[in-house]
Amino acid sequence: MFQEAIAKQTAEYLRGHLEGYLEIVAARFTGTDRLTLKVPDIKSSTLVGGAMQADIKDLPAIGVDCLDKQEIPSGESLCYYQYDGAIAGLVSASSAGDVDRLAKRHAAAIELFVREHQFLHQFSTSDFTMREFIYVNTTFSGAIQLELEEEKPIWVDGFTHNVLWIASEDQYRQHL
C-alpha cells in the first residue's frame, strides 16, 4: 500500500548521504586506480524487472523502487509488513575497465549506506513507521559498449541492490 512513499523517502535519504559514502570508497584507491566518483541523479522510479532506464547524458543515475509487500506474522502487532525492492544504478565511462570499476565503487558506496542505515532514521508518516532497512544482495549487469551516432563509443554498466524494508502500518480501521 505504501510502496511509493517508502521508495521516495529512501531516495531522499540516499540523496542526503551518498556523496559522503562515495568519498569513503574513493579514498580506498590511489594513483591510477583512483577514479572520480560523481554523485548520481537519484530518483524513486519504476524498475521493471529490476532494470532501470536513463538517458546516457544523465549517467550516473540511481533508481529506488519498492516492488512487493507481504505480511509478517507477529505476536506484537498485526500490522508488520516486509516490502521487497531494489536500488539500481547505471554508470558510463570511455573504457570497459573504467566502467566496471565505477559500477563496483558506486555499488559499494550504496551498500555501505544501506548497511549503516539499517534503522533508516525510523521515519514515520501518519500511516506507517519504518522499522528496518536490510541489504540482501547485489548483482551486476556487465559492461556493454554503445555506439552513439555523433560521439565516440561509450561503455555502460549497471548494478542492482536487492533490499528489504520492514514497516509497521497503522491499525486497521472499520468502515461503518
Residues 6+ apart with CB under 8 A from 108: 25
DSSP 151: S
3-state DSSP call for residue 43? Answer: strand
Locate 137 and state its grid cell. Answer: 544482495
3-state DSSP call for residue 146? Answer: strand
pLDDT at 93: 94
Q: What percent of the chain has pLDDT over 70?
A: 87
Q: pTM of the predicted model, to two decimals? A: 0.86
- The structural domains of the chain, with segments of one domain joined by +, span 3-169
Is 125 a residue whose pLDDT tops 90? no
Whether 110 and 90 have beta carbons less than 8 Å apart is answered as no
Q: For residue range 40-85, what is the model confidence (pLDDT) as tens digits?
A: 888 887 666 556 778 888 899 999 998 888 988 776 656 788 999 9
Locate 8 and state its grid cell. Answer: 521516495
Amino acid occupying residue 119: F
DSSP 115: H
- The winner for highest mean pLDDT among 83-87, 124-128, 145-149, 166-170 is 83-87
Amino acid occupying residue 174: Q
